[in-house]
Amino acid sequence: MRGIKGLPKRFLCCFCKKTVTGPGNNAMPAKDGRCCNKCNLSIVIPTRLEQARKVIYTKCPCCRRRFKDVMNNRKFCGECADYLRTIIAKSNYYKNKFKKLKQELE
């Protein structure tokens, strides 16, 4: 059997630990690695469908705009998050600069 370029011809399924011949399936997002067809159908595909259903629309606390939160882990819309990142970066820059000046004066 010819393997797909970059993939082993045989591997262990990351779920059931059986030796599988062939390219197998990508086990993400359930686990990092490759899996057999049986585990793909019983574990990986249901996990992917569950994640697809988790799309939530959330209100940004800064601007009150609604935005799509795919994994339910974002707290701000894209524009506000970028703005907050620049503020934090600038504050860290000035904190470090102030510490250096303070050390020089001591």
Residue ranges making up the domain that contains 28: 10-53
Alpha carbons 17 and 34: distance in angstroms, whole number? 10
Contact 67, 55 (CB under 8 A): no
Looking at the structure of the chain, the number of domains it has is: 2
pLDDT confidence bin for 100, thresholds 50/70/90: confident
Contact 61, 75 (CB under 8 A): yes
Dump pLDDT digits (tens) for 9-68. Answer: 888 999 999 999 888 899 988 889 999 999 999 999 998 888 777 666 677 777 777 766
Is the pLDDT assigned to residue 106 strictly greater than 90?
A: no
Q: What is the CA radius of gyration of the chain?
A: 24
Extract the tokens encoding 65.
């705009």
- Whether 15 is covered by a domain: the verdict is yes
Alpha carbons 91 and 47: distance in angstroms, whole number? 40
pTM for this one?
Answer: 0.49
Is the pLDDT assigned to residue 98 strictly greater than 70?
A: yes
Are both 45 and 60 inside the same structural domain? no
